[in-house]
């Protein structure tokens, strides 16, 4: 049997005067090696993507992290320069794909920007430059050239008792690599908080009443999926959900 296929929304980026639809290799590699699926990169078009046509052809959605941030107008705020950079093509691609995947029961795994997209797609809001808020740690990625150092596992999150992540990660403290300057301000009504940092920052969520796996994490399990047990467990759980969904379509 062929491998299931997972859609990954692209970013819209400019290099050397040309524009590209791109996804960081670490997400593609984690999908293949960690979840056991084949990635399908969805172009970041502000118009022209048919969400149902895409979802008809895939068995899951992986909303990746990115350098850009969700545009504040999508959660009721006026945009300022410090909220950027923005990617309206990614917004227009990812948010409708997330909403429709949830409606159809397509498994969804959202990482970093993807978690923030999930929250906004369902009616939540975001806070920017959270390190400037009283009592909040500096969660930003270190500005160093060595990516192993930049993505180093250095922070605890606390997985809640009874959460859907408890069977995957265990209950209590899990060491992760959470790298971000934006975070959930108000969680969407349909989201359950699965894990938090010691400073109270929401680090993982799930969709209440979802028909399939629908989880978002603020950290980066894709980077260490080969060597870190918790990272591997998340991608394995996503892959199992994708295969279950594919099997249900083939019956």
Catalytically active residues, by annotation:
112, 220, 222
State how far the Cα of 40 lies from the Cα of 138, in Å rounded to an integer. Answer: 34
State how far the Cα of 68 lies from the Cα of 248, in Å rounded to an integer. Answer: 35
Q: What is the DSSP letter of 43?
A: P
Cis link prior to 85 (omega < 30° from 0)? yes
């Amino acid at each position: 049997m062929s491998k299931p296929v997972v859609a990954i929304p692209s970013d819209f980026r400019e290099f050397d005067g040309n524009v590209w639809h791109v996804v960081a290799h670490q997400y593609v590699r984690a999908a293949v090696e960690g979840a056991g699926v084949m990635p399908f990169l969805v172009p970041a078009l502000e118009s022209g993507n048919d969400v149902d046509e895409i979802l008809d052809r895939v068995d899951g959605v992986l909303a990746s992290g990115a350098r850009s941030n969700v545009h504040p107008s999508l959660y009721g705020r006026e945009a300022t320069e410090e909220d950027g950079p923005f990617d309206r093509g990614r917004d227009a691609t990812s948010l409708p794909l997330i909403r429709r995947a949830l409606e159809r029961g397509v498994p969804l795994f959202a990482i970093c920007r993807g978690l923030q997209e999930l929250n906004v797609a369902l009616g939540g809001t975001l806070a920017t430059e959270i390190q400037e808020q009283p009592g909040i740690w500096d969660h930003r990625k270190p500005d160093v050239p060595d990516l192993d150092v930049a993505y180093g596992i250095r922070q605890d999150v606390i997985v809640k008792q009874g959460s859907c992540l408890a069977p995957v990660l265990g209950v209590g403290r899990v060491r992760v690599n959470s790298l971000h300057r934006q975070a959930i301000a108000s969680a969407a009504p349909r989201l359950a908080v699965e894990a938090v940092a010691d400073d109270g920052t929401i680090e993982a969520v799930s969709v209440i009443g979802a028909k399939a796996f629908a989880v978002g994490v603020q950290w980066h399990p894709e980077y260490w999926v080969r060597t870190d047990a918790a990272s591997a467990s998340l991608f394995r759980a996503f892959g199992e959900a994708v295969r279950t969904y594919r099997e249900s379509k083939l019956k």
